[in-house]
Structure 1
């Protein structure tokens, strides 16, 4: 087969990916960049207003409250998810009976749709007839139902559900990293009298360093972008207590409450989406910078 035919075959395989990327990624980004300078509600005339959408956004208290909520949500999810994922990875990386089954069970939440998962947890955490409240009352641990999706506990509930849905994915990534650590390193440490805690702290963590950096970056981005389960559980309520950045932007394009009187705002939503993406990008760059500095120190 000559070089021309090989190039043609290679182009035929690559073309679908390039086409889909252009249609579903490049074109929407270009569309949003254009309309963030317009007053456009998805219908009617498009009016060029320059930077007015950005001026409105920087004065929008609800948006900046959603930014704060996003950091709380992402921070809580990371604090819960990463240690649990690493601990389970260490346990399931050992030669224990049924470890393949346990890996599959713990990974299962990752492949379940966020919307379906949120509906199930809504039934569990429902304040009035939820399964969790009934169980706690039957066990005489509480006297009256707890409003898990109310102002006091809504964010905590959202964080717990998000952590449950994510830890299996990071667990498998940690397992992949652990399997690249030579076993003779642990054997040498055992001969020198090192206990399990010392081997974990002085061997596992340092040798997981490169993989750990990638996992943390991946977890940060996913945590900042997450909103699907919150949308199903609370729609950002009550009173904006669980409103996060990407849910706020989503509502500007697709109002989630029918009959609420909220209109689509494609122009303003594009500006909010651009600033939101910029915030996530800056945090990612800051993490890269800090990681490089730590590598130089070590």
Structure 2
């Protein structure tokens, strides 16, 4: 078969994906940028305002507050989900009795919809009747904790539901990475006198560096896009204490019917997320080169 025929076959196989990519990724990106330059409403009325939406955005204190709330969730969720995912993968990889069952149990919540997850945890976090408070009362705590309406506890309640829902996916990625590490490395380390702790620190973790970069980047992106848990559990409250930037975009676009400003917010969020991910990737890549991991 000639090279031309090989290329033709390859492009023919790629064509369906490329069509979907253009239709559902590139076209919406271009349309969003176009809309962000207009004062655009649901009624079809539009007025070209150039960069005025972006100027208004810079002066909008509610937008910056919601962006900070999103950053805060990224800060508390990313290390938690990455570390717990690694620990669960290490536990399952020990191949103890029942490890297959634990692997399934840890991953199953990832298959549930966000509506089911938030409904379950909202019930568990209810004051007076919720399972969490009932357990604390059983242990001797007398005070009633309002998990979803107290600014001091709301974010950690959302984090708990998110961890239970999504940590299984990170565990699967780490587990795949663990199973790709050559056994010869552990045997060589054992012959050199390395105990299990030293093998973990000097063999397992360095060999998982690429998987860790992938998991961390995916987690940062997912945390920046958080909306469902917050909307269904707290509606952004109490007050606006847990309102994220995606929720603010939704409220601006669909409640205030200002699609131009909402599109501008979406582009700013995309740029911020892209910048953080690229910065994170470069820092980890430089650390990998310094450590001599190829």
- CA change 1:59–1:127 in 2 (3 A) is farther
**Contact 2:53 2:261 (8 Å CA) reproduced:** yes
The number of residue pairs the alignment matches comes to 290
Name the CA distance, whole Å, in 2 between partners of 1:193 and 1:267.
Answer: 64
Corresponding position of 1:232: 232
SS in 2 for 1:152: helix
Report the CA distance between 1:229 and its aligned residue: 1.0
Corresponding position of 1:259: none
**Correspondences of 1:225-264 after superposition (within 5 Å):** 225-254=225-254, 262-264=255-257
TM-score for both structures, normalised by structure 1: 0.89
- Deviations along 1:48-77, one digit per CA (max 9) or x if unpaired, are 111111111111111111111111111111
After superposing on structure 2, the runs of 4+ consecutive aligned residues of structure 1 that deviate more than 3 Å are 1-16
Instruction: List alignment gaps of at least 5 residues for structure 1.
Output: 255-261
- CA change 1:159–1:297 in 2 (3 A) is same
Corresponding position of 2:192: 192
TM-score for both structures, normalised by structure 2: 0.90
Instruction: List alignment gaps of at least 5 residues for structure 2.
Output: none
**Contact 2:209 2:288 (8 Å CA) reproduced:** no
**Contact 1:77 1:160 (8 Å CA) reproduced:** no
Corresponding position of 1:101: 101
- CA change 1:49–1:128 in 2 (3 A) is farther
- CA change 1:266–1:128 in 2 (3 A) is farther
- Deviations along 1:11-32, one digit per CA (max 9) or x if unpaired, are 6654443333333222222221
Name the CA distance, whole Å, in 2 between partners of 1:199 and 1:3.
Answer: 47
**1:17 matches 2:17:** yes
SS in 2 for 1:153: helix
| Residue range with higher mean Cα deviation, 19-28 or 102-111 | 19-28
**Correspondences of 1:1-298 after superposition (within 5 Å):** 14-137=14-137, 139-150=138-149, 151-254=151-254, 262-298=255-291
Name the CA distance, whole Å, in 1 between partners of 2:30 and 2:129.
Answer: 47
Report the CA distance between 1:184 and its aligned residue: 2.4
- CA change 1:207–1:11 in 2 (3 A) is closer
Name the CA distance, whole Å, in 1 between partners of 2:8 and 2:106.
Answer: 44
Aligned Cα root-mean-square deviation (Å)? 2.2
